[in-house]
Amino acid sequence: MLGDLKHNETQIGTLYVIIDGKEIPLIVFQGHNDDSGWTEVDPETGKVTYLDNRQKTDGIGFVAFRDGTSGKTTYGGGRNIPVDVAHPESVKYADFNRATNPPCSFTVFCTCPFAPNQNVLPFAVEAGERIPEIVDFGD
């Protein structure tokens, strides 16, 4: 049931960015990978289990954010910035040029977490990906 659908993201830290002299804290989440479609079948029961899509993601984080462009020129649920958290002390900036759309912005056949309220920026981020063009393959 759609009403029961939820995402449990793992907060792994906070990235503090300074924009126009103001420090803004952004929640950093554990990264994902493309293993979310992988399954494992129990040979005795035949039960199918979906594997954790956070396998092999040590050192990979992301900031999901919304801003003044969300729902206008960018995906309404927000965009993501990758963050290399293997050596957190070496992270010196957030590169909004690398902001990408989550997979759910391209298809109705998947779900993605929305950016949390703590990561809503009070201005427009004109850098990064825009709303993707959805291809309609018909019936």
Cβ-count burial 11-38 (b if 16+ within 10 Å, e if not): ebeebeeeeeeeebebbbbbbbeeeeee
Virtual torsion, Cα 52, 53, 56, 62, nearest 10 deg: -130
Q: Give bridge partners of residue 28 from the DSSP assignment.
A: 13
Contact 104, 113 (CB under 8 A): no
Q: What is the pLDDT of residues 55-77, one digit of tens each?
A: 556 677 889 999 999 999 999 98
Q: What is the pLDDT of residues 33-49, one digit of tens each?
A: 555 556 678 889 988 77
* CA gap 133, 97 in Å, rounded: 19
Predicted model pTM: 0.74
